[in-house]
């Protein structure tokens, strides 16, 4: 627990390293100092999107072997999502757990914490938009890859079973890129609240929340 939240913004990928001093997103002047936006702060969605995007770029940077954005595929995106699970706060029961399928288990268990499906879904929506805003071509957008959609669906179905929470309220349709973000995290459950901490945030690892 010594170095966990210590110095600054680098993502602890691969168990350390990467003391990049300039990795603080939005910290160093360049970003949002713009002209018009000083009075009206960026929307929550916008700032979350920027943070997510920085997290992802940081992830690519620390990736072994190194990955450039242009070579990033849906498979890499899925890898990224799995990587984020270690920072998750949502209990997902394994099939052998007595509370498998219980939305409100009466006692703790040892099942792993993961990212809630709704968080991942919203995250992908934001990253997908961010990719194109950063000059990525829509047709090569790895966040829109079919494999990613399939993966998310599997996560949703798996978590619905494991947590006893049906996500059926949301009809399976894909809104446009922009809407996918916010819509995703809101529409579900209404019961829990534990997983998103009230923001649809993925609780991205080392991005400081100042």
List residues binding Zn ion (CB under 5 A).
Answer: 93, 97, 99, 109, 111
**Nearer residue to Zn ion within complex by CB, 6 or 108:** 108
Task: State both tokens at 86.
Answer: 């270690």
Task: Report, in Å, the least distance between residue 98 CB and Zn ion.
Answer: 7
Task: Report, in Å, the least distance between residue 90 CB and Zn ion.
Answer: 12
Task: Report, in Å, the least distance between residue 114 CB and Zn ion.
Answer: 12
**Nearer residue to Zn ion within complex by CB, 51 or 93:** 93
How far CA 179 is from CA of 10, 38, 124, 164, in Å, comes to 29, 25, 11, 27
- Are residues 68 and 184 in contact, defined by beta-carbon separation less than 8 angstroms? no
The SS3 assignment for 90 reads strand
List Cβ<8 Å contacts ≥24 apart for 22-29. 23/58, 24/208, 25/50, 25/51, 25/54, 25/55, 25/207, 26/50, 26/51, 26/54
- Are residues 184 and 200 in contact, defined by beta-carbon separation less than 8 angstroms? yes
Residue in 82, 80, 100, 78 with CA at minimum distance from that of residue 91: 100
Task: Report, in Å, the least distance between residue 111 CB and Zn ion.
Answer: 3
Task: Report, in Å, the least distance between residue 159 CB and Zn ion.
Answer: 12
**Nearer residue to Zn ion within complex by CB, 60 or 97:** 97
**Nearer residue to Zn ion within complex by CB, 94 or 179:** 94
**Nearer residue to Zn ion within complex by CB, 27 or 112:** 112
Could you report how far apart the first and last alpha carbons of the chain are, in Å? 21
């Amino acid at each position: 627990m010594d170095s966990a939240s210590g110095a600054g913004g680098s993502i602890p990928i691969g168990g350390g390293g990467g003391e990049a001093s300039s990795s603080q997103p939005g910290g160093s002047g360049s970003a949002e100092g713009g002209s018009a936006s000083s009075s009206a702060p960026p929307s929550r969605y916008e700032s979350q999107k920027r943070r997510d995007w920085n997290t992802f770029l940081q992830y690519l940077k620390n990736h072994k072997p190194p990955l450039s954005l242009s070579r990033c595929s849906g498979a890499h995106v899925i890898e990224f999502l799995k990587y984020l699970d270690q920072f998750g706060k949502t209990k997902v029961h394994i099939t052998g757990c007595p509370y498998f399928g219980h939305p409100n288990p009466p006692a703790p268990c040892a099942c792993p914490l993961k990212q809630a499906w709704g968080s991942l879904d919203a995250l992908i929506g934001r990253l997908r938009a961010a990719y194109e805003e950063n000059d990525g071509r829509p047709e090569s957008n790895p966040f829109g890859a079919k494999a990613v959609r399939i993966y998310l669906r599997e996560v949703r179905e798996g978590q619905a079973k494991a947590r006893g929470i049906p996500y059926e309220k949301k009809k399976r349709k894909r809104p446009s890129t922009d809407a996918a973000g916010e819509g995703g995290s809101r529409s579900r459950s209404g019961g829990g609240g534990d997983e998103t901490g009230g923001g649809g945030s993925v609780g991205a690892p080392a991005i400081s929340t100042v």
